[in-house]
Structure formats: C-alpha cells, structure tokens
Amino acid sequence: RQVETRMTELRQNFPNGVELRKWYDLSDFIKNSIFGVYSSILEGAALTILILLLFLRRIRITLVTGLIIPVALLIAFIVMKLAGMDLNLMSLGGLAASIGILVDNAIVVVENIERYLEEGFPRTEAVVKATGEIIAPLIGATLTTLVVFIPLVFLSGVPGIFFGALAGTLAVTIAISMILAVFLTPAIADTLVSTRPKQSGKFLPKIIAAHQKVLEFNLKQPLFAFALVLVLGAVAVFSYLNIPSGFLPEWDEGTIVLDFVAPPGSSLEGSYAMLSTIENHLKEIPEVENYSLRIGTSLGHPRVHPNEGDFLISLKSDRQRSVYEIMDELRTFAEIAEPRLETELFQVLPDRLNSDLAGEVAPIAIKVWGNNLPLMQEVAQQLADSLETIANIEDVYRGYNPSEPELNIRVLPEAAARFGLSVKDINRAVRMALWGESPTHVLSGLKNIPLRLQYKKDRERYLADVQRLPLYFPQIQRVVNLDELAEIHKSPGLADVEQDNLSLIINVSGQISGRDLGSVARDVQQMLDRFPLPQGISTQLGGAYESQQNAFNELMLVLLAGAMMVFTILLFEFRSFRISIVIMMGTMLAVTG
C-alpha cells in the first residue's frame, strides 16, 4: 500500500508520455492466498457445525460445542499477538487445520454431561461430576496431540520456517480448546443442555450395529485381523516407495522469469537483436499481460555481463492455460527460434525459496568438485549432455559461462628499461590506446559529463592485432609498438569461479517439467553411478533434491521424537506398558491411510 501511495504521488509530477508501472507485485498473490485460507476457515467451521448437528441431532448441544470454534479462534489471535507471531499463510493454515480438532474436547464433555443427566442426576450436579470425571483424560489426550508439534519448532531451513508457524498456531488453538472445554463448555451446558432423552435417529444406530458386527468377527477370527494388518502394511510400504515426491508444492504464481545468456562477447545491441524474436512472440501470447526486458542486469543480480539478462513476464489472472503450459511454449519457441541463446524459465517465488532459503540453484543440480578447472569444465559439459537425455529435464545449464579469450601482456624488463619506461607507463599507454582516458569533465547545466580522449584512427584494427598496437609515450616523445616492449599471448577466459570448502566447484543444473522431483532424481543418480570420473574429480547430486532429503530426514527424526513423547505420556496416564503399546500400534496403523 505504501509503494502504491508513493507511486501515485510520483505520477503527479511526471511529464506527459511518461508512465510508472509495477512490473512485479506479489501482494495480489498473497492477498488471494490469505483470502483462500480465510474462506477455508469459514467453510471448515460451517461444515463442522453441520456434521455436529447431523450426528448429535440437537440444536442446543450443537450450539454448545460450536461456540468453542469462534471463541478459541479469537483467543488464539490474542495469544499470537502477545507472542509476536505473524499472520501468514502457514499460521492461518494451522488455524484452518485445527477447526475440526477444536470441538473434540467439547463434544466429550457434553456427551458425558448428557450421560449423567440420563442417569437422573440434577443438571448442576451432572455438569460438575461429568466434567471432573474427564478432566484427567482430556488433559492426557490434549498433551499427546501437543507434544507431536513441539519437535516441529526445531526444524531448520525451509521446513522450519513453514512448519514452525503451522505447529505454533496448532498448539495454541488446541491448548485453548482444552481449557475452554473444561471451563466454558460446562457453564454453557448448565444453561442450554436439555434433560430430555437423547434422540439417536436411524442413521447412527445402523453404524453402531455394523461396527459391532465387524468387531465381533475380528475378535472371533484374530488371525484374519492380523493378516489384514500385514496386507495393509505391505500396501502402505509399496505406496510410499512409489508415490511422487517433491520439495515444495507447485503453485501458479502468475509470473515467469526467462533468464538468457547470449554467446560470449555479445554486446548489448547484439544481445537485443537475438531477443527481438522472443519479444515479438511474447506480444502474440494472449495470456501475457505485460513484460519487461533487462540486458546487462537481471532480476536477481544488478550486475551481470552484457550478454546476460532476463524477461519478467506477468500473466493475466483470467486465463485458460496454466503458467507451466505457457513456460513450456516459451521454452520450445526459444530453442527453435534462437538456438544460440541459453535460456532458463522459472517462477519468482519458488526460485527465491530454493535459492535464498534452501541455498539451492535448481530442482536438480550436480556438484562437480576438483582443482583442475579445464578438466572440471569438460566433465561438467559431459554431465550437462547426459542430463538432457533424461526425460522431463529442461533448461540444462552446464554451470559456467564461457567467455572471450583473455589477452595476457607480460612486460619485458630489459626492453622497457632500454626505452626508459616503467610497467605503469606501459599499462597507461595500453589503456589509452584501447579504451581512452577521461582526464577531465565538462559542466553541462547540473551535470558533469566526462571528456574521453582516445586514438582517432585504426582502433578497431589494432584490437584484432594488438601486437602491432602503437603506443605514444609523451615522456620520451616517440611511438613504440607493443610487441617491442612485451610478450603477448592469449589464454582461455572465465567469467566467474566458485569455491566450496577450499575446492573449485561447478554446479550443473536443470529444471523439471511434468514430472516429480523424486523419480527424476533417481534417474539422475543412476546416470551418475555409471558416469566415469577422471582422477581428482568428484560429484554429488544436489539442488532442491538435496534439500528435500535433508528435510525428510529431519521430519523422520521429528516423527520418532513425537512418537516417543506420546508413548511417555501414555505410560504416565495408564501406568501400563501393554495398554500404551496397544494404543501406539493402533495409531501407527493409521499411517497406512
């Protein structure tokens, strides 16, 4: 809002023909997402109350239990404010997920109160006895739920950011619901709960009767029940091994970034000439609302080479195709229309989450370590070629950008001394001959414009044949060719060098389209296992897959820690290993779902 207000103020001072627009605005995506979560909370609350009314079949009891939902949510907002917690997608998601859990404790309290009323106890006495009877079980049941969320707070990286907020709000609302069920629900029930006999209806008794038949059969045929458990376990393991896996869920943000790298040595004008075909195609795509083009700079890095840059493309909200379909179209068109360009397409938010929070460059990345850079580049190119043969891997990047050859000039001390020149004198003369020099500025209005002096003739010719470059030295009043003063040779150039743990590293990366991360990573790992590596070179599969595996390992530890804490609470509550083990086994069977 502040940015929009400031933009409105700036527009008032702009001359005619000058426009100020926002090329990237994530606020609409965030607002829509938060609105969707709010809608889910309201819909969940309405469905919960409807189901309560369907099964309890009494408006007053439904009202008693349903009141817990708004009261618990309001108190949860207060606690979140006092604790300094933010309202974001994950914290609101925690509130939405807790809607059904909020009424559980209240239902238990009300049902127990009704039982005492049916036994003939006065209303107030029934409320007091029923509530006191189940306080300990309620606390135990609530604690077994709360302790599961405690380890989630200690997760690191992206899972810690996401699950920390989710676990915090879930824990707060569940604890509040237990307190309200013990103190608020009995007070309301004392006023609203009727002493009339409970009407079960026709639907619920049928369910109870069917459950009794199944239970009796299982008790009579324990081997069948045991075999069924084994079958469910086997099916669960098979499903787990074959279910698609990823690191972050996919979403349609409505924006696309098309990164590009033109051939080494391309000027700004040359790079733009290659991009004009893609730009014209963008104008023909009906889903594109607007776009911006940067050359020599980019969305993520303000300073890049003149042959690098990106398109930032905003899509219309009302469209038939998804962002992934449009990305596939652009990728195919760019490969055919301008094969000299290396391109990569992605969405801004997932890319920022992977790179800034998870520290990964792409969904799939192969880390190549070594100390022999030319050999590493050769291996990286071979790995990139192999990646391109794997299904659904797109935008393969070999991990380095080749540059123009470097020109190394080594001054000959004897030759320089013969002319009475120093290395500094020769360096300045070379710079003056090739690029010129700015000895002063010219004042034009309020601007200082640098005045550049450079050789007038044959500059382009000498750039190609630098050995014959004539250098003028005012201190000796004569012109000397560069090859009389120095040895000149060319060497392979390199745009940038990365290091990791005191070793050179190249990240060969690729995007994924139309397939899950886990299956693609398995194919890549099989390729790496077969790939012959030269001595001194090592590789490792990284990218978002590495972050996924680290997160899954942490979550597995969280699962084990939560199970141990739940088992400990069950031991304190029931004081029996057998009962605690039976409950835990039944809980673990639920994982088969």
Contact 92, 35 (CB under 8 A): no
Tokens 């390199």, located at residue: 494
Q: Does the domain at residues 27-202 carry the CATH identifier 1.10.3470.10? A: no
pLDDT of residue 199 exceeding 60, the answer is no
pLDDT of residue 153: 76
pLDDT of residue 56: 65
Which sequence spans correspond to the domains of the chain? 27-202, 252-357, 404-494
Strands 393-397 and 503-512 turn out to be antiparallel
Query: How far is C-alpha 454 from the geometric centre of its chain's CA atoms?
Result: 51
- State pLDDT tens for residues 210-248: 888 888 887 888 788 788 878 887 887 787 777 777 776
pLDDT of residue 112 exceeding 70, the answer is yes
- Per-residue confidence at 11, pLDDT binned at 50, 70, 90? confident
Task: Say how many C-beta atoms besides its own lie within 10 A of residue 12's C-beta.
Answer: 6
User: Which residues, 6 or more positions from 289, have their beta carbon under 8 angstroms from its beta carbon?
Assistant: 314, 315, 316
Quote the mean pLDDT of the chain.
80
* CA distances to 21, 26, 349 from 31, in Å: 20, 9, 15
Strands 437-444 and 498-500 turn out to be unpaired
> Which of helix, strand or coil describes residue 150?
coil
More confident residue, 117 or 23: 117
pLDDT of residue 352: 67
pLDDT of residue 159: 75
Q: Does the domain at residues 404-494 carry the CATH identifier 3.30.160.100? A: no
pLDDT of residue 219: 81
Q: Which ranges of 286-422 does DSSP label H, i.e. alpha helix?
A: 323-337, 348-352, 373-387, 413-418
pLDDT of residue 41 exceeding 80, the answer is no
- State pLDDT tens for residues 463-478: 566 777 888 888 888 8
More confident residue, 284 or 196: 284
Q: Does the domain at residues 252-357 carry the CATH identifier 3.30.70.1430? A: yes
pLDDT of residue 361: 63
Token duo for residue 237: 């393991």
Question: What percent of the chain stands above pLDDT 70?
Answer: 89
pLDDT of residue 593 exceeding 70, the answer is no
- State pLDDT tens for residues 275-325: 888 889 998 999 988 888 888 766 655 556 777 888 888 888 888 888 888
pLDDT of residue 137 exceeding 80, the answer is yes
- State pLDDT tens for residues 401-419: 766 677 788 888 888 888 8
- State pLDDT tens for residues 337-368: 888 888 888 887 766 666 655 455 678 888 99
Q: Which of 286-290, 434-438, 482-486 has the lowest mean pLDDT?
A: 434-438
pLDDT of residue 198: 57
Token duo for residue 514: 């139309």
Residues 40-53 have a mean pLDDT of 79
Token duo for residue 507: 């990240």
- Per-residue confidence at 382, pLDDT binned at 50, 70, 90? very high
Question: What percent of the chain stands above pLDDT 90?
Answer: 2
**Would the pTM count as exceeding 0.95?**
no
Fold equal for 252-357 and 404-494: no
pLDDT of residue 459 exceeding 60, the answer is no
pLDDT of residue 333 exceeding 60, the answer is yes
Whole-angstrom distance, CA of residue 477 vs CA of residue 482: 16
Contact 78, 43 (CB under 8 A): no
